[in-house]
Amino acid sequence: MFSVFGGAFIIVHFIRHRDYVFLYKSKINGRIAKAYPHKDLVYMRIQNNEFNFVPKVRSNNQYTIFDSVSTTGDSVFKNHNSDTLKLIHNGEIHSYIFEKQ
């Protein structure tokens, strides 16, 4: 039983680490085609790329929750090798930091 649980933890940890690295290294400049929450993750599609991440709720984003604010068509920007994603929704800029899980 422990090995099954331990194996599942390792797989989930690997996938989350891989998703973090992909998002961290990506440069994003586009509009959200689709975004939705799943457990503690947000799945987001911009153009032909899909990103999975855990946005942190902090004072720099007015304590807003990414998937509660973002809608299809909102603009998203992120520099290459950066942990900060900027969402422009209704003319307001929300900055979200994501962390390695």
Q: What are phi and psi of 23, to 5 degrees?
A: -65, -45
Two tokens, residue 63: 């304590």
Q: What is the pLDDT of residue 78?
A: 93
CB 39 within 8 A of CB 93: no
Q: What is the pLDDT of residue 21?
A: 87
Q: Return the amino acid letter for 45.
A: R
Q: What is the pLDDT of residues 54-99, one digit of tens each?
A: 887 776 667 778 888 899 999 999 999 998 899 999 999 888 888 7
- Please provide the distance, in angstroms rounded to a whole number, between the alpha carbons at the two ends of the chain: 24
> What is the percent of the chain with per-residue pLDDT over 90, rounded to a whole number?
33
* DSSP code for 98: B
pTM of the model: 0.78
Q: What is the pLDDT of residue 15?
A: 57
Average pLDDT (47-59) is 82
